[in-house]
Amino acid sequence: MCGICGCGSPHPHPEPQKHRFVLNRNLDAGHDHEHSAARLLKIEQDLLGKNNAYAEQNRTYFERRHIFVLNLVSSPGSGKTTLLVETIKALKDRIPIAVIEGDQQTEHDAERIRAAGVPAVQINTGRACHLDAQGIGHAVEKLGLRSHSLLAIENVGNLVCPSSFDLGEAHKVVVLSVTEGDDKPLKYPDMFHAADLMLINKTDLLPYVDFDVERCIGFARQVNPDIGVIRLSAAKGENFSVWLDWLSSGMAGMKAKRL
């Protein structure tokens, strides 16, 4: 069982067997809860500490090359890949774009991205529930990124574990579709706290679902007063230009960065 999110899976960190062994022992040791809790905490700290070190290496690499990196996080099916495909169609003739896709299984999303005309690497995480910074480093080696480019990372679909793992991105962008319910920011506060931008997607479906946009934004700002918000429909194009403007200004900021 994972010590970070309790998802039932060992995380793909450098010592997975050790991780599993210690946790199983803890489950058996009912007589010593405090000791077990302290050991669990230590494992979590070690795991996140290692991840953070890899994330800093990634960030340095990206910033030196002025690569604008986004980590897209959400529940399954909120529209991340659709958003990326439409973004690629709109921008690929103007800026170099590459994508890292994270899913437990299948190459489906990477195939959709390649069909849109840009390079993509698929990472299959198996039983694990999020991407980690070391895996991103390996994927970047395969992609051979260009300077002054956009790198989009589509994380594994869930609103819990990916919030804890820095990948070296400039921003986490959380995508919430109107079919999921407007209370998600309060129910999964870590994710909305970690994100710099919330995209409220599938606004074309608002007439058919019980989703109060203002209430949702209010909840998101309760957990993160600084979070930006864009409402859009990736599939139908409503308000898509606002998202493209946000991207352009992020790219310009990265270009202007003096290191």
Ligand X SMILES: Nc1nc2c(ncn2[C@@H]2O[C@H](COP(=O)(O)OP(=O)(O)OP(=O)(O)O)[C@@H](O)[C@H]2O)c(=O)[nH]1
Q: Does 81 bind Mg ion (CB under 5 A)?
A: yes
Among 26, 68, 85, 109, binds Mg ion (CB under 5 A): 109
Binds 96: which of ligand X, Mg ion, none (CB < 5-8 Å by kind):
none
Q: Does 157 bind ligand X (CB under 6 A)?
A: yes
CA separation, residue 224 to residues 131, 220, 227 (Å):
23, 6, 6
Asked whether 51 and 163 are in contact (CB, 8 A), the reply is no
Binds 217: which of Mg ion, ligand X, none (CB < 5-8 Å by kind):
none
Q: Toward ligand X, which CB reaches closer, 10 or 79?
A: 79
* Alpha-carbon 39 to chain mean position: 28
SS3 call for 95: coil
SS3 call for 151: strand
Q: Does 172 bind ligand X (CB under 6 A)?
A: no
Q: Toward Mg ion, which CB reaches closer, 80 or 231?
A: 80
Q: What tokens appear for 165 in the block?
A: 């793992």
Q: Does 196 bind ligand X (CB under 6 A)?
A: no
Q: Toward ligand X, which CB reaches closer, 234 or 247?
A: 234
Q: Toward ligand X, which CB reaches closer, 26 or 101?
A: 101
Binds 76: which of ligand X, Mg ion, none (CB < 5-8 Å by kind):
ligand X
d(CA 252, CA 120) in angstroms, rounded, equals 23
Among 47, 129, 234, 251, binds ligand X (CB under 6 A): 234
For residues 210-245, one letter each, b for 16 or more C-beta atoms within 10 angstroms of the residue's C-beta and e for the rest, the string is ebeeeebbebbeebbeebeebbbbbbeebbbeebee
Select from 3, 6, 35 the least CA-distant residue to 19.
Answer: 3
Q: Does 197 bind ligand X (CB under 6 A)?
A: no
Q: Toward ligand X, which CB reaches closer, 227 or 232?
A: 232
Question: Which residues of this protein are in contact with ligand X, per CB under 6 A?
Answer: 74, 76-82, 109, 157, 201-202, 204-205, 233-236
